[in-house]
Amino acid sequence: MLPTLNGRIQTRIFMLVVFGGLITLALTPILPGDPDYKTTYLILAAVLVLGIVWELIYHVIQQFRWEKDWPTMFGLITALNEGALVWLLVDLGAVPGIDGDTVPFWAFFIDFSVIWIVVWIWTNGPMRVPFIRWRFFGGRIV
């Protein structure tokens, strides 16, 4: 079963809230430039909100593909465009509550990359064990 749009959005929200929240909690104190929790969680929220918009864009693009889905590696590579957009918005000060000059690039890069890789690995592997029906319900959590 291919993940449906609804399933992909639910999975993205679940993964970013659970894994993203825990990883951000653990990484924030050791990130370069000493960003505070408010800043890192606002960035995580921006990734979540923009991620839903990205899912809608990806859904339109996928309609032109024969199998209407991405190869697994595309899910990893989409970190480039999503991360670049979020960093651009953070750097320009377009994320509410964040002054663009206060977030060091490497702090953002490390936090974003670690979360993305952990979520991608978990979603494409171990998640299928505790959520055995997730795959059969089009990726929906609820």
Distance CA 55, CA 103 (A): 26
Question: pLDDT digits over 12-35, tens only?
Answer: 999 999 999 999 999 999 999 989
Helix-helix angle 105-123:72-91, to 10 degrees: 150
Question: pLDDT digits over 76-127, tens only?
Answer: 899 999 999 999 999 998 999 988 778 999 999 999 999 999 999 998 888 8
- Domain ranges in the chain are 5-137
**Minimal CA–CA distance to 42: which of 90, 101, 91?**
90
Q: What is the pTM of this model?
A: 0.89
Question: pLDDT digits over 39-70, tens only?
Answer: 999 999 999 999 999 999 998 988 888 877 77
